[in-house]
Amino acid sequence: MNLKPLTDHLLVKPIKKETAKGGLVLPATGQEKPETGEVVAVGPGRILDNGTRLEMTLKVGDKIMFKKYAPDEIKVEDQEYLIISESEVLAIIN
């Protein structure tokens, strides 16, 4: 895979929950959209009005929490990824 996000976008590999509360495995259609993921690629940052580039806070390998319906879903070589703007990220998971 050779994708490079533009501006302040991130390429994220979703971290999916395998089981529901009670131990039941849910089919893909019954699962909610992932709200956590691992950053696999980072854009260069957005350009401010004064022409300077605002550097990204997040880096490759960060585990993040984001708004449920914020990311766009894509599939590359049978692998699912999310593209999300850095401003939609709520927290870094330690």
Judge whether 84 lies within some domain: yes
* Gap between the Cα atoms of 30 and 52, Å rounded: 44
- Residue 25 falls inside a structural domain: no
Give me the number of domains the chain comprises: 1
Query: Are 31 and 17 within 8 A, CB to CB?
Result: yes
Helix H, strand E, coil C: the string for 24-43 is CECCHHHCCCCCEEEEEEEC
Q: What is the CATH number of the domain that holds 54?
A: 2.30.33.40
For the chain, the helix, strand and coil percentages under 3-state DSSP, each to the nearest 5: 5, 40, 55
For 53, the domain range is 9-16+33-93
pLDDT higher than threshold 90 for residue 20: no
Which pLDDT does position 72 carry in this prediction?
Answer: 92
In a domain? residue 49: yes
Contact predicate 31/16, CB 8 Å: yes
Average pLDDT of the chain, as a whole number: 87
Res. 48: pLDDT tops 80: yes
Confidence of residue 30 (pLDDT cuts 50, 70, 90): low
Assess if residue 63 is contained within a domain.
yes
pLDDT value at 70 more than 90 = no
